[in-house]
């Protein structure tokens, strides 16, 4: 009787401890992205010469929500991906910035654009060992799960 009780308790403890907690996937919705970008003076880039060439990017690009943008007379691309991993992998390949499921292309090497995506989206460049701190734009408060924070 005691052996059966010990065996049952051992089995319950083993099964109860084997569950892994999975962190929720946090992606920017189009509304969240627009809310953040609208706090800046960035606007859609209507110049056809700066149009996004989707063949330059890996599969997984959300063509509907991706957009060419202009900020302080500098153009960049905000490319939406289906997953954060796709955005991170593409940022690594292109040596650019990403936050959640968004890649910010043509930003690396342009301090004004780097400040924008770092301060507003908490974006990171996965190739950089030490992430750059924004100089020209004060950081914006950001809700939980933003940017390239914990775990990137």
Domain boundaries, the chain: 26-152
Distance, CA of 46 to CA of 115 (rounded, Å): 23
Distance, CA of 99 to CA of 88 (rounded, Å): 8
Q: What is the pTM for the complete model shown? A: 0.76
**pLDDT tens per residue across span 36-64:** 999 999 999 998 888 999 999 999 999 99
**pLDDT tens per residue across span 107-147:** 999 999 999 999 999 999 999 888 888 887 766 655 444 45
pLDDT over 70 (residue 10): no
Helix (H) or strand (E) holding 88: helix 84-94
More confident residue, 93 or 20: 93
**pLDDT tens per residue across span 71-118:** 999 999 999 999 999 999 999 999 999 999 999 999 999 999 999 999
pLDDT over 60 (residue 29): yes
Residue closest to 84 by CA, chosen among 21, 14, 152? 152
Say what the pLDDT of residue 149 is.
45
Contact at 8 Å (CB) between 123 and 99? yes
């Amino acid at each position: 009787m005691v052996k059966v009780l010990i065996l049952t308790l051992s089995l319950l403890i083993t099964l109860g401890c084997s569950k892994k907690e999975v962190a929720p996937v946090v992606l920017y919705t189009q509304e969240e992205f627009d809310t953040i970008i609208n706090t800046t003076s960035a606007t859609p880039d209507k110049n056809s010469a700066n149009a996004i060439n989707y063949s330059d990017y890996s599969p997984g690009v959300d063509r509907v929500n991706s957009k060419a943008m202009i900020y302080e007379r500098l153009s960049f691309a905000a490319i939406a991906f289906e997953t954060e991993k796709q955005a991170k992998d593409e940022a690594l390949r292109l040596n650019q910035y990403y936050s959640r499921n968004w890649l910010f292309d043509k930003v690396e090497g342009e301090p004004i654009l780097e400040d924008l995506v770092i301060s507003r989206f908490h974006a990171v460049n996965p190739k950089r060992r030490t992430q750059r701190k924004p100089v020209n734009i004060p950081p914006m408060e950001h809700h939980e799960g933003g940017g390239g924070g914990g775990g990137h």
